[in-house]
A = this chain, B = another copy of it.
Amino acid sequence: MAYQFPVRDVHYLLNHAADFDAVRETGAFEDLSDDFVGAILEEAGKFANDILAPLNWTSDQQGARLENGKVFTTPGFKEAYAQYVEAGWNSVAFPEEWGGQNMPNSVALSVVDAMQGACISFAMGTMLTTAAVKALLAFGDDEQKRLYLEKLVTAEWSGTMNLSEPQAGSDLATIKTKATPNGDGTYNIKGQKIWISYGDHDMSDNIVHLVLARLPDAPEGTRGISMFLVPKFRVDSEGNIGQQNDVKIVSIEEKLGQHGSPTCVMAYGDNDECIGTLVGKENEGLRNMFVMMNAARIDVGMQAASVGEAAFQKSLEYAQDRPQGREFGVKSGPATAIWNHPDVRRNLYTMKALTDASKAICLANMVAYDVARRSPDPEIAAKAKEREELLTPLSKAFSSDRALETTNIGIQIHGGMGFVEETGAAQFFRDVRICTIYEGTNGIQGIDLIGRKLGMGEGKLAYDLIEEMIENADAAIATGDADLARAGERMKLEAESLRENTAWMVTAMQTKPEAGLAGGTPFLEQFGYVAGGHYLLKAAIASHGAKAADASQADYHDSRMHIASFYCDNLLPRAQGFAPAVRAGAETVEPLEPTLLSA
């Protein structure tokens, strides 16, 4: 069976783990009835299953290729893209004013989930277009909006983000690309950019590049970077496509995975004829880019979990089909499906529990993102903004790290077949590998968490969530259900441990930051596991109530409660495995002589 977007699961997580009601309560959206949201997810699933999923394997085998300076995408991508635009999947969360559907970003993220799980190489491109829309909505001038926004909202034109240069990856302070004023309000852009996803392709008539560059006499470092809009084809004042801009595709990368997504090296202004316009204010480009980057990080987290789900489905099917060995205690007779072996089920439940925990964090993150922007109550909005800030590094890093584990287990369940490319299990593992790296490596997410996020209000953002975790754990205990109660007890223990480490980390970052920085990654791991358990448990408590209220759904809710308690029994304790490393201190990573490290 091919990939099927798990509509029911995602809808369930959105409602019960991520508290979608909080979005409804903003009153900012016309119709957010459960049926309507469900219908959107259902339709997104059909598109993903029917149009995109069949392209996934092809995208790996016949990836993007560069010929005569043009990028050609996987056979079938162009047609699928046209249908994607036609169906309006790109415009879900954008304002009606620009052709959008004014739905919450959390609903759009669920749509993203459908598309990414079906074909990450395809969906990757649309993620960048979404980011470009957000940039122009926030910082574009009227003319830029008029000329580009509607086309980008529909994805009739696509967008890219151009940050990195060979010397400037994680550290963008050293960006060299130059922007020289032409005197007519436009700028001459010149420089090389790398890691440009969908920097060129054959699916849309135009491509809108958002490019970070330096104005003459701009300050050094990150405060001297501005953002420019550079179209592939110039656009006249009526919005008509004109002459090709001076933008060249130098090469595309041969990558471990995501072969269908062209990753371009781009040369802007080789002939000094690359014309762009300033987006936002001078020298505020990096800050503005990071406004989008934060949403993109949530997208990447979801993207990774989506691939985890696809890997899970393939493995679940294989485990039911593949006979090997007998059940314990059975001495004769034919081989049984490996699904019947406890260790195989452990692997499968681990995959699903990690995937859903990841999705729950991402959805809760995006619900907070919506509420922060749309709640009319400033206090609610401010609290939501804090939650959004706290969860973003967790969405990005925990989900992508766990998706690597999930896709890895997927190979393992397939045994030797998993190592054979034809099976497809390895593709998930390869495709998802980049998610821990792009949009800020997970190491940087750790630094963001312990630096910026714990820095806000001396740990307040974390303490607030930990408080909720403990309340939630008490609620789990109060259900009287033995499994949920045990999960609640474990959650309290882990939340308390996280609180202690948070306090340690807040102090460390204030008084001996080099000690804090040594523990960023394990702190992120610990926090991620606890947060994942929290959101799953929250949904499980809702299941416990729903089951009592409506017996017809009992089996489904039982399965959800089991996955949550499986997580709390088996995976949540891993947080304890990281807790001591958080406090190991700067000495633990003191610089040793490299030549003596491998001798």
Contacts and interface: CB of A to CB of B under 8 A. Distances in A.
Interface stretch (A122-130, A151-159, A275-283, A591-599): A591-599
A419 interface: yes
Nearest to A513: B328
A303 interface: no
A433 to B, nearest CB: 6
Interface stretch (A82-90, A179-187, A357-365, A578-586): A578-586
Q: Count chain B CB atoms within 10 A of each CB in A221, A344, A565, A581 and give the residue with the most.
A: A581
A446 B343 contact: yes
B6 A594 contact: no
Contacts of A598: 4, 6, 9, 309, 312-313, 316, 352
A578 B588 contact: no
Interface stretch (A73-81, A135-143, A285-293, A434-442): A434-442
Contacts of A408: 404
Contacts of A593: 555, 559
B562 A590 contact: yes
| Copies of this chain, count | 2
A520 interface: yes
A591 B339 contact: yes
A95 interface: no
A110 interface: no
A569 interface: yes
A171 B569 CA distance: 30
Nearest to A483: B587
A347 B412 contact: no
Contacts of A430: 256, 430
B562 A592 contact: yes
Contacts of A342: 514, 517-518, 520, 586, 589
Contact of A597 (B348, B420, B446, B569): B348
A570 B597 contact: no
Interface in A186-234: 194-195, 220-221
Contacts of A461: none
Contacts of A563: 597
Contacts of A562: 590, 592
A510 interface: no
Contacts of A426: 256, 433
A244 interface: no
B570 A522 contact: yes
Contacts of A590: 562
Contacts of A34: none
A320 interface: yes
A569 B596 contact: no
A589 B349 contact: yes
A418 interface: yes
15 contacts: A6-B599, A7-B599, A167-B323, A170-B325, A221-B332, A255-B419, A256-B429, A316-B597, A328-B514, A349-B588, A419-B433, A426-B433, A522-B570, A559-B597, A562-B592
Interface of A: 4, 6-9, 164, 167, 169-171, 173-174, 194-195, 220-221, 253-257, 309, 312-313, 316, 320, 323-325, 328-329, 332, 335, 339-349, 352, 404, 408, 411-412, 415-416, 418-422, 426, 429-430, 433-434, 436-438, 441-443, 446-447, 490, 513-514, 517-518, 520-522, 555-556, 558-559, 562-563, 565-566, 569-571, 573-581, 584, 586, 588-594, 596-599
Given A9-B599, A342-B517, A556-B596, 6 more contacts: A254-B422, A566-B588, A566-B589, A569-B584, A573-B578, A574-B577
